[in-house]
Chains A and B, each alone.
Chain A
Amino acid sequence: MTGTMNLAAEVQQASGVASMAWLLLVLPAFGAAVLLIGGKRTDKWGHLLGSATVIAAFVYGVVLFLDTKSLGAEDRLRDVHLFDWIPVNALDVEFGLRVDPLSLTFVLLITGVGSLIHIYSIGYMSDDRNRRRFFAYLNLFVAAMLLLVLGNGFVTLYFGWEGVGLASYLLIGWYQDKDFAATAAKKAFLMNRVGDVGLALAIFIMFKTMGSTQYDVVFAQIGNQSTATVVSIGILLLLGACGKSGQFPLQAWLPDAMAGPTPVSALIHAATMVTAGVYLIARSSPLYSLPQAEDARLVVMIVGAVTLLIGCVIGCAYDDFKKVLAYSTVSQIGYMILAVGLGPAGYAFGILHLLTHGFFKAGLFLGAGSVMHGMNDEGNIRRLGGLARKMPITFVTWTLGYLALIGFPFLSGYFSKDAIIAAAFSEGGGRGWVFGGIALLGAGLTAFYMTRLLILVFLGKPRWENLKSEDGRAYHPHESGWTMTLPMIVLAVGSVGAGAILSGILPEWLTPSIGELVEEHGPLSHTLIAVLTVAISAIGAATAFVVFGRREQPVTRPARVSFPVRAARADLYGNHLNEALFARPGVWLTRFLVFVDNRGVDGLVNGIAAGLGGSSGRLRRLQTGFVRSYALSMLGGSILVIAALLMVRFA
């Protein structure tokens, strides 16, 4: 505990390679600027520039990583001061970068996965007239996301936070001519605002109580604050995390966000942006690790556990390829939040799962994109099927991602998810059983819905053969070009191997940022938990095979289903809840205010205006145009002036 609290004192000014860290922000921002300002002139080579800037950022990130790796563990926290951003009286916000293991981990994830997805997009968006603008937005996103993770204070983080929100909004609404895309973009933006209010309030409280919003100052002083302050900051930060990461109760926007192009879903709404909430909590580990923050951590764990269950359950019922993956994302981020809520026992595992998830979920999304690309953008899994033979590369890479996700032994997910489940059990007591049990149940459900997806899309009979897509074309599934398959292959390799490699080195590597990994042992041994998890996952997958694999599936989804399926199809009534709790009272309040505005405010304003206009019209008649009346008014005025002067003097 003390180790994390002293973090602040050990931050050093960066030199050498690290002092150039601003390049990370500038490269993609430059790409975005050129593409947006250059307009149509850059259409020909815009996608190449966009990809090149991100790849260059990745290369620099690797160099920076190696440089940091070569330092001793105690020297790995470094700050790059760029300029004083907002020096106003007592508020002094510095624009600086924090180069440490945690932010570097994210830098590599963002630029690495980002590069792959840029390359993939060259092929995926090749038919889109506005491909250049698409790359500009992607670059904008990468720049903002890097600012988010690299900033050395909460205000810089907030800047990046809003920047990725903007990029996400622009990209969800990419297909502007489609109503549902515009609605989804708006929904995402609005629900994110709810979370952002939490983050903003947390920042305000920090400034009020500690006089600064820089990480080093805040984390150095947070220990001296009252429990109420610590808990309220903790819960408000969590609200921010819930908004950005699609956690309960703000999860409803993320599945709708799949309205954007698939590379966007993979990059922003699966691999990187939605994990910002996890980053926020891990970054604030000095706060959450405090004994005073016990209650805040409990809330974090509850949110994580509830969300992971919600995501699994709804994922079982959806028929839209990308939406199932989206709910899977919601659920997996639930695991991460649960992990970081566990405190020092879980931070590293949360980040580990975040990284492995970044690999396999991006791969799964890209696979989904590849399928849709070859199937006239068909996303309904009931109209797919038997595609394994038509798209062998997609099938193999997707299946590897699938196996990694359900925790097949010795693939990525096995190391990261099982570690979280074990850490949850080791929380001890009733809590350990509850959270561990939920996490275990979630693993089974995950295996169930992912297997369902695999069967319906790649195995079974080709149900699409006698169907036509909405625009009347027949389906001619085909494998995608190399720009699309290459990133999928790379990500598949990552899905297979990343877990084994990272689980060995990550906890030690992250220690300078988030403290030592505390290993605790619960009532069940780690081996037993691993066996249990694999067994439950196997049961889930087997159930799916029994239910979906043995008989033919209807092309339209059955209408008469049991209550749990109906509830899951309705997002477990999450939208209804939001509607009833927030939207409807909001509408009433709005109507009331409109009424007040129309009658009261407008009445007043119009009344004044009418009064002035009327008096103007009447006064105007005094301006008769006759010199005699002008002279009279002058005389009257003079008499008044002189009388007033004399009255003042002699009164």
Chain B
Amino acid sequence: MSVISSVLLLAQEQQPTAPAKVEAPPVGAIWPILIVLGAACVGVLFEAFLPRHQRWPAQVVLSLLTVVGAGIALVAYATDAPAAGELAMKGTLAVDRPALFLWGTLLALSLGAVLLIADRSVEPGGAFVASAAIRPGTVQDRAQVASTGMQTEVFPLTLFALGGMMIFCAANDLLTMFIALEVLSLPLYLMCGLARRRRLLSQEAAVKYFLLGAFASAFFLYGVALLYGYAGSVRLADISAAAAGTDRSDTLLFAGMGLLVVGLLFKASVGPFHTWTPDVYQGAPTPVTAFMAACTKVAAFGGILRVLQVAFQSTNWEWRGVLWGVAIVSMVIGAVLGLTQTDVKRMIAYSSVAHAGFLLIGSIALTEKGLSGTLFYLLTYGFTTLATFGVISLVRDASGEATHLSQWAGLAKRSPLVAAVFTFLLLALAGIPLTSGFVGKFVVFEAAIDDGMAPLVVVGLVASAVAAFFYLRVIVLMYFSEPAADGPTVTVPGAFTTAAITLGVLVTLLLGVAPAFALDWASGAVFAIR
């Protein structure tokens, strides 16, 4: 509570004298956010007032319409947006090219994630728990599935999280950023604990995520406080200006920055702040994991890019070496620990830690190319991961998803299509040419070399080589091992999951074969420094 009150205090201090006449701020630029948050509220009302059997269709339609509508609003705005970006909501949001690109990425990824979440054919009754007292697979469970269909609170939660992520990417001051961080995190904590099967694992994951998330938020907030002490403002531009020319103690600046960055790195699951990632990815319901892995990564790196490039650009000489170290640790941890994982979801979690390291390389290349490269990498990684978790949710046995690697042995003999799709996605994660993963790595590493970080790129390449081992191991397992006698079956996915996986795979292929158009969108993006 003290945390919250200090936030309020700071917020009041930020604008000590409220203007006498309150004008409604122009909202043209932020329609996408308003649509998402508004729809989330409507979703809550649906939960409260609609009869049970109508909730699922209503929520699905609402969520999909929201994402599509926000996308249309975004496109409509972006077509004639000012090139240098503009500030919205009294300077708390900076709607500039990177923000628009990230919003687009987030909305597109959410579309896939919502489709995965909405699926009821892979797991009858959806992937989410309805009543804690009823064990999955029992007579009561089936009766409940028949009567209610699916628990639907998860839809408004998803939309709230999405709204938070979009604000997070565009936040122009640290307090807005913090609020957005909490708005995106709290629904995620809840969603992690909603798994229908393996509930203990799921709940444990939710609690861990919540505790560590609160811990990280404390770091973030403490950092904000120190930076306010240093610059006298929480606006990124003011911090930048202060760092360029004040005589205040640099201890405040760097201690504050360190704490702030730790909070951000935690969200992006960069090593050594990644420890929650494997447990939570494994425990959370797979559609939620897909949403989290794809969208949270995008939002968190959006925030990291903005903070580093806007607020701390001028002091990069001091902090860059430290973040080199962090990137190396993250890549090494992800690649090396991934080697001995026996659970597919944990393996992808460590892969995401390694990818976070690669992304961090792009983020600390403080050039236009570094920014656009990182943005492009986020786009590619998001779609690949989304489709990967989509495929993982299909391989099941009697007790739910069969995530242990030994159960995947010989999968290609039973389900050649699923094995082929998963192989393609794994190759994309490994960064093999003709997939988007290769192009993403290429542009990021290219930017890093141009910015004089060749040694870091060498480490990155070695780490990719090591990481390739565990991706290829799964492929070998699927194609060259004898199938286990009582192995899992592959569920024939319904239209929703099929659509989500197809979306991810097609984008992965498209960005691997013809990436020029997306690179064009990402290039030329500069933050609106004001």
Contacts and interface: CB of A to CB of B under 8 A. Distances in A.
A637 B272 contact: yes
B254 A631 contact: no
A620 B254 contact: no
B322 A633 contact: no
A630 B466 CA distance: 25
Given A612-B466, A642-B259, A634 B216 contact: yes
B211 A631 contact: yes
B339 interface: yes
B339 A634 contact: no
B257 A645 contact: yes
A612 B212 CA distance: 29
Main SS of chain A's interface residues?
A: helix
Nearest to A626: B208
A421 to B, nearest CB: 61
B258 A619 contact: no
Interface stretch (B43-51, B274-282, B417-425, B514-522): B274-282
A38 interface: no
A627 B340 CA distance: 21
Nearest to A632: B275
A645 B318 contact: yes
Interface string B111-149: 000000000000000000000000000000000000000
Contacts of B250: 649-650
Contacts of B495: none
Contact of B208 (A613, A615, A627, A650): A627
A642 B278 CA distance: 25
A546 B257 CA distance: 108
A637 B339 contact: no
A646 B255 contact: yes
Given A620-B337, A646-B254, 8 more contacts: A616-B338, A616-B339, A625-B279, A627-B211, A630-B275, A631-B211, A634-B273, A646-B258
A606 interface: no
Is the interface on chain B under 10, 10 to 19, 20 to 34, or 35 or more residues? 35 or more
A615 B326 CA distance: 19
Contact of B254 (A609, A623, A627, A642): A642
Which of A623, A629, A641, A648 has the most chain B CB atoms closer than 10 A to its own CB?
A641
Contacts, number: 86
B275 A634 contact: yes
A638 B254 contact: no
B259 A636 contact: no
Which A-B residue pairs are the 3 nearest by beta carbons?
A642-B258, A630-B275, A637-B272
B259 A638 contact: yes
Contacts of B266: 634
A9 interface: no
Contacts of A638: 219, 258-259, 262, 273
A644 interface: yes
Contacts of B279: 625
Contacts of A627: 207-208, 211-212
Interface string B266-296: 1000001101101100000000000000000
A86 B259 CA distance: 57
A153 to B, nearest CB: 32
A648 to B, nearest CB: 5
A631 B272 contact: no
A641 B336 contact: no
Given A638-B262, A642-B255, A648-B319, A612 B336 contact: yes
B325 interface: yes
A429 interface: no
A617 interface: yes
27 contacts: A609-B469, A612-B336, A612-B466, A615-B336, A616-B338, A617-B340, A619-B333, A623-B278, A627-B208, A629-B275, A630-B208, A633-B272, A634-B216, A634-B262, A636-B272, A637-B273, A641-B261, A641-B322, A641-B326, A642-B254, A642-B255, A644-B322, A645-B257, A645-B318, A645-B319, A646-B254, A648-B318
